[in-house]
Each structure stands twice: as structure tokens, then as C-alpha cells.
Chain A
Amino acid sequence: MDSQHLNPSSLKSRFTATFLRALIKINAQKPISSSSPREIFQRYRRIKVAADKSMAYSVRSRRTWSRATLWKLRSRSRSRLASSGRRSSVKTRTTTTTTTTTTATNHRAAIVEKTSHEKENKEDHVGLAVQAEELRELVPGGESMDLCNLLDETAHYIKCLTTQVQVMKKIANLYSLE
């Protein structure tokens, strides 16, 4: 993959453009005290969501996993908006970020717990079922896929994740050269 010249219609360039636009927006929301740990943490959450969202947008609805990610993000922001109806829309955005943190942490913790339980019960004759279950939890939308689709979606998901990491690394390196 030639990293110097971006093919404008490639996944990599679509992701880069979308993610950069999101970063500019996030950066524009910086308050005066932009270096407080709380601010940095909130920005970290926003950037992470922006990265996952940008990748899912770049893939659009061509893949089950990207559809699942977009659906999850949209329903999450919709439910937060509904539950904090009294606040203004500007403040709601901050609320979304902080509540998402707890949910994500609990979700991840639950996955780790469940996975170690399954490892204890693993019998070899069950075959791929156990690992497939583990994989289903890692790939968005995996719960509803049969094994064939799961493996196919996983391959695409991994390709996209590596692209995402590659671009984010490049951006971070460029920023830190200043």
C-alpha cells in the first residue's frame, strides 16, 4: 500500500478525510482550560468514538459490522438525548461522552469476565464454537452472524482496524513533530 499518495476513493483516504474533519471539530470545541485532565479524558473519548465512527462511515452499510457500529452509535446518542431532555443540546454532548465512558468500561469488563469463564469450560470436541463466541463479542454485529459470515466479516473488520491504526499513528506523528 503506497502511503505517500492517497487514492481519493480508497478506504484509507475516505477514513483519513472523515476522521480529520472530526478532529478539527473536536479541537474547535476546546475551552480555555484545555489541558485539565478531565478535558483531556473527555477529548480522548470523543476522539476514540470519532475514529470508530469515521471508519464505519467510510465503509458505509456495505458490511454487517459497519452497519452494527453505526446503529449502535446512533441509538446510543439518541437514548442519551432522550434521557437528558431538559439540558440544552450543547451540554448534552458532554453528557454523552461521560456516560459512554462508564458503559464502555462495564461492557469491556463484562466481555473479559465472560471470556475467561468460557475458557474454563472449553472442550476440544466442541470445535470452533467457543472461539467463535469470543469472536462474536469482538466484532460488531457478530451475535447475529453464522460462522461463515462471521469469518468473512472478521477479515474485513481486521483490515479496517489496521488501516485505522495506521492513519491515526501517522496523524499523531505529524502532530508531535511540531
Chain B
Amino acid sequence: MSSRRSRSRQSGASRITDDQIIDLVSKLQQLIPELRGRRPDKVSASKVLQETCNYIRSLHREVDGLSDRLSQLLASTDTDSDQAAIIRSLLM
């Protein structure tokens, strides 16, 4: 616990407490599939941030890939009635 505290940014006049940072970091850890199961005190804050960056980049790539896939699918879809059916089934 104390080692992690010394690793976070030392700022005398900071209004942000280390505890706040630790809470936010562990909250972030739960969102990342890679680190989700591990105990918060076993994972360093810098590792959480690093994995967060990797995860966001992979999500961006997924969005790219899906946009690409959708653009191909739209090219092959001609009927408006099919689309209407899809939309209805999605929004029901």
C-alpha cells in the first residue's frame, strides 16, 4: 500500500488525495477484462493505466473493423424493407 502511494505523483499543493486516485484506479481496473479478476492491491496503478490505454486502443480498432464490416454489408443490402425489419427487431 505504501509503495503504491510513493509511486503516485508527489504534489505538495495537490487537492487530489492519493486515496481518491487509488479508488478511481481500482474502479478503472474492474472495467478492463485483462485485469478484472485480479486483486486491486496486486496490480500497480501504472499497470492499470497502461492496460487501460491498450484496451481503449483495441476498442477503437474494433469500432474501425465494425464500421468497415457495416460499410461492406450496406453495399450488398438493397431492399429498404429488410432494413425496416431489422430496425424494428432491434428496437422492440
| A residues apposed to B, CB below 8 Å | 5-6, 13, 16-17, 20, 23-24, 26-27, 30, 34-35, 39-41, 43-48, 51-52, 124-125, 127-132, 134-135, 138-139, 146-148, 151-152, 154-155, 157-159, 161-162, 164-165, 168-172, 174-176, 178
- A51–B27 CA distance with the chains assembled, in angstroms: 26
Q: Contact residues of B with A, CB < 8 Å?
A: 7-10, 16, 20-21, 24-25, 27-28, 31-32, 45-46, 49-50, 52-53, 55-57, 59-60, 62-64, 66-77, 82-83, 86-87, 89-92
Could you say which residues of chain A place their CB within 8 Å of the CB of B50?
Answer: 131, 134
The residue among B46, B56, B70, B89 with the most chain A CB atoms within 10 A of its own CB is B70
Q: Enumerate chain A residues within 8 angstroms of B10, measured Cβ to Cβ.
A: 127
A148/B70 in contact, CB under 8 A: no
Whether the pair A172, B49 counts as a contact (CB closer than 8 A) is no
Which residues on the A side are within 8 Å of B92 (C-beta)?
A: 5
Q: Which of A128, A170, A176 contacts B46 (CB 8 A)?
A: A128
In the bound assembly, the distance between CA atoms of A6 and B91 in angstroms comes to 7
Picked from B28, B64, B66, B87, the residue with its CB within 8 Å of the CB of A154 is B28
Given contacts A151-B25, A174-B86, 14 further A-B contacts (CB under 8 A): A13-B91, A40-B72, A45-B67, A48-B64, A127-B7, A127-B8, A128-B8, A138-B53, A148-B24, A151-B27, A157-B56, A168-B63, A168-B67, A172-B69
- For B57, the closest partner residue in chain A by CB is A138
Question: Which of A5, A6, A30, A174 contacts B74 (CB under 8 A)?
Answer: A30
Contacts of A154 in B (CB 8 A): 28, 52, 56
* Contacts A147-B21, A148-B24, A174-B90 given; does A27 touch B64 at CB 8 Å: no
- Inter-chain CA distance A165–B58, complex, in Å, is 11
Docked-complex contact B24 and A48, CB < 8 angstroms: no
Contact A161 B66 (CB under 8 A): no
B66 and A172 form a contact (CB under 8 A): yes
10 contacts across the A-B interface (CB closer than 8 A): A16-B90, A27-B83, A30-B74, A44-B70, A128-B21, A128-B45, A155-B31, A158-B55, A158-B59, A162-B59
Determine if B63 and A48 form an interchain contact, defined as CB atoms under 8 angstroms apart. yes
CB distance from B21 to the nearest CB of A (A): 6
Least distance between B15 CB and chain A CB atoms (Å) = 9
B87 proximity list for chain A (CB < 8 A): 20, 24
For B90, what are the chain A residues with a Cβ–Cβ distance below 8 Å? Answer: 16, 20, 170-171, 174
B64 touches A175 (CB 8 A): no
